[in-house]
Structure 1
Amino acid sequence: MYVDPPAPRPKAVDERPPATSSGPLDNQPTAWEFNPEYQRLVIAWQSVLPQLETLRTTLDKAFNLARSPQTWDAPVGERYVQDIREWRARLAVYRHAVLTAISDEAHDTPRWIPAKTNAPHAFP
């Protein structure tokens, strides 16, 4: 069994951008915006997780029904139980891979980026 990796955090209502910039422009006012790439990862996580849960719940229900002695009255039933057990294991590996990929990408993506709106331009 796998434990889900940390989910990307959506922007909180009271969350503020970084107070100062780092580098040669320290103490210069910088406009910040919530990174749209990070927001896409938050949305991806929130859309994928319910679908994975639905698949897991459906397979668990089928697995429990297949294991019931009232469902199968022949030795061939164990083969179907084994197949469903394998599907459940594959789904767990798939879930872990997908959520880890999103989580790793979110970890490497900055939450805030400098906004381009206040950048000076040499030519209009």
Structure 2
Amino acid sequence: MTDPTPEPSPDAEGQNARRTPDPAPGDAPPADVPAADVPAGDLPNGDVPASGIPPAPDPQEILKAISGINLETIDADIESAFGSRMAQLDEMLAGLDSLVEKIEKDIQNLDQPKPDGPQ
């Protein structure tokens, strides 16, 4: 006898190369389970997801719980260091501006003819 489900040919490529099997009758979530059987508050706004599975926890909260690292503290440290470096760069730019002005004045003085000495 022949198999009732056709298999893709060995020459199939790309997305059609593999056929995803249909879910078995027991794999689908039961449609007759009322939402009241799932504890309230699974979602931030108090709603319950339709699947009854709570949403994944926030990765930042997991990091904080495991390592004790507070990302807000790290952000504040980065902002502080960034501000300090920006202040140093501003000072350097001010120094460069004054240097450029001095060089421009020196160039202007070189362009002017020298007064002749006593004749």
What TM-score does the superposition give when structure 1 sets the normalisation length? 0.32
Which structure's relative contact order is higher, taking Cα pairs within 8 Å and 6+ residues apart?
Answer: 1
TM-score of the aligned structures, taking structure 2 as reference length: 0.34
Richer in strand (by share): 1
